[in-house]
Amino acid sequence: MGFFIDVSTLPDGIDGFTQLLFLLLAYGYVIMYGSQMISDGSELLLLIPSIAGVVGSIVLPVLGAVPDGFMVLFSGLGPDAQRQSAVGVGALAGSTIMLITIPWFLAIFYGRVSLIDGIPQYKAQPKLADKSFIHSLTNSGVVIGKSVHSSVFIMIGTSFTYLVLQVPGFIESNKTENQIARYESHFALLGLLLSISLFFFYLYYQYRESVVESSSSSSNLLASVIDEQIQSSIIQRSVSLVGALGNGKMSL
């Protein structure tokens, strides 16, 4: 018997449906609780100034990408690797698309301010001068920072690694599965090595950018975020007052 219950062994009818629903709720709770712990731990890392700038640029991408990668990897280790890999890649693609669409949309929608001659009015009160600007594409907007601008090109460039395996697959699509597997094996290995190399390059790039950012004027903003996180953590009792004092941000 494996670590997880094989749902195909559940009985038919209402009894099997009830057990399946219970498993869904149990696994969902475990995933939700784990994600909450990851989120709380990432926020607490902001209490350490020396690594606060690295949390969002390195720690969170690793926590997000590595589990997804292992999910696809393990899905292809069983006897039915072709179908299981398709399911794993589909889940990975779905979660990735959701992360780069829904949160991005919400951040822009709720963070937009009035635009005057294309210049966002962040210091104005209220943020939207006219209620008609709520759904306007020209009278409201947000500022795109330098890091976001460069990240767009990184995202586009790294997405081309899919072509390393996809193009040979299209070329040999009229062959049998065994012939396609033999032909694509070397391209699959090349795509894997290229993806891993680009991932580590991305981590290095983000680390370098975080170091430069922390030494620039934006470090004041980071310091204010750290102060707010310390106050919030003390109120929520997730960190003791002694721990906050030991951080050097407060003094007797």
> Given this model, what pLDDT does residue 38 score?
76
Give the C-alpha separation, 160 to 139, whole Å. Answer: 35
> Given this model, what pLDDT does residue 225 score?
57
Q: Name residues whose C-beta falls within 8 Å of residue 206's C-beta, 6 or more positions apart in sequence.
A: 54, 57, 58, 61
- Direct distance between the N- and C-terminal alpha carbons of the chain, in angstroms, rounded to an integer: 58
> Given this model, what pLDDT does residue 217 score?
44
> Given this model, what pLDDT does residue 241 score?
55
Q: Name residues whose C-beta falls within 8 Å of residue 65's C-beta, 6 or more positions apart in sequence.
A: 199
- In the chain, the largest separation of any two C-alpha atoms, in whole Å, equals 75
> Given this model, what pLDDT does residue 193 score?
92
> Given this model, what pLDDT does residue 133 score?
66
> How many angstroms separate the Cα of 237 from the Cα of each of 224, 229, 232, 250?
20, 12, 8, 17
Residue count (the chain): 252
> Given this model, what pLDDT does residue 248 score?
45
> What pairs with residue 119 in β-bridges?
116
Pair 132, 102: CB distance under 8 Å: no
Tally of CB atoms within 10 A around 210 = 20
- Structure-block tokens of residue 43: 């926020």
Q: For the chain, which ranges sit under pLDDT 50?
A: 217-219, 247-252
Give the C-alpha separation, 71 to 76, whole Å. Answer: 9
Tally of CB atoms within 10 A around 38 = 15
Pair 180, 172: CB distance under 8 Å: yes
pTM of the shown model: 0.58
CA dihedral of 28, 31, 36, 42, whole degrees rounded to 10: -160
